[in-house]
Every structure is written in structure tokens, then in C-alpha cells.
Amino acid sequence: MFSLLRNRFGIPGVISVIALVFAMAGGALAAKKYVITSTSQIKPSVLKSLQGQAGAPGATGAAGSAGAAGAKGDAGNNGAPGKAGEDGADGVSGEPWVVGTAPTGALMKGTWAFQGGVAAAENEEFFTAISTTVPIAPGPFGQVIVAEGGQGPCPNGSAANPQPAVIEAGEPNEGEPSPGVMCLFFGEKENIKPLGGDFKLNSSGGGLVLRIRSAAAGAFKAYGSWAMIAP
């Protein structure tokens, strides 16, 4: 074989082929001896110099599709029943009363007026209504008192501050309210005789009609207020 190579390539060619074979064999031996399989085989200072700088952050990815709905949770337990609240206090009776009659014992007040007229002579009669506005219990008033002198069952009050009748002194329960008795107070009167309980239609359950007589010929007028305890 050597003679074949010598005849084909000559002595220099043979030497070159042999040198190439040894070079390749040496490289293979070197590569097998220094194959790096772990970073621990590299010197730390060399490994640090081999590290590159961090790249720029990548673009934000598209939002993912919504996940499937979760399973329905179990029903919660019923809470313990609350403690019952205490009963509230009774409310105060409202006034005025729009429906029905005024409650027995309720204080009622109002005003009245006679617009006036001209009498041709003494004792000429005129009438004016006094309404309780809210109906009272059916039946006649127990009494209607014109409180001019502060005597009898209407000793208190005035036209500006009317007060109801009270039980007269010497009677059982004197000084206590007297239901069903209306006290009339004059704010002004002119050319009018003392009335003295001269009333008409005082059993309507909603007021009365007051009869007025002239004291003499000429103009006369009157106005005032009233108060009573509902019977």
C-alpha cells in the first residue's frame, strides 16, 4: 500500500497525508479530553465575562379568553331569628279630630262673632251660630254660660284665653272639669242685653244658635270665644 501511495502522490504527498491523519487524530483526542458538560467546568471569572446583558421586555401578550363559570356554591345556613322589639308607648290623642265625634273629656275651643245690625227698637232679636266644628256626642248641652262676671261654673278664662267650665264650689268634686258645659266669653259687645242662657238649637251635637236682643234702637254687634269639655 505504501508503494501505491508513493507511486500516486510521491514522497511529499505521502508525508502530507500522514501529517493530516495525525492532525485529525490529535484533534479528536483533544476534543474528547476537553468536552464541557457543566458550567462548573468553567472558571467563575471567565463565566461572569461570558454573561450577556438582559434584553428589553417583550410586548404584552393578548388577553386570554374568559374562563368557564365556576360551579354554584352550596346554600348558606339560615341565620338565627332576631329578638322581638319592645312595644312602643301609646301615642297622644291627635287634635283636631277629622272623623267621628270628639272624644269624651277632650278640651274644645273656638270663636264666634255677630257681624252687627241696626235695631229699630229695644228687644229686637237676631241670631248667630256657634259651631264646635268637630261633632260632639249627641244630646243637649248640659248648660251654656255667658261668663261676664267670672262667677258660677265659668270663673276662669277670658275672650283671649277661653277656659272650660268647672264644678262649682260646694258641689261634689268641686273645681274639676264639668263636661258638656259651654262657657261663652265676650271680646266686645255693643247695645246688647245680657244673654243669660237665651239659646236655640243647642241639641244638634255640633254647636248651638245664640239669640241676641238689642238693648235699644240703633246699631249693635258682638264677638267672643268659647270653651268646653266634650261630654
Higher-confidence position of 118 and 39: 118
- Whether the model pTM is above 0.85: no
Cell numbers of 85, please? 322589639
How far is 103 from 173, CA to CA, in rounded Å? 21
Candidate from 26-35, 79-88, 101-110, 168-177 with smallest mean pLDDT: 26-35
pLDDT for the residue 91: 62
pLDDT for the residue 135: 83
Give the tens place of pLDDT for each residue, 6-43. Answer: 455 555 554 555 555 545 555 444 444 556 666 666 67
Distance of CA 88 to the CA centre of its chain: 18
Task: Measure Cα distances from 189 to 111, 115, 194, 206 in Å.
Answer: 14, 11, 10, 24
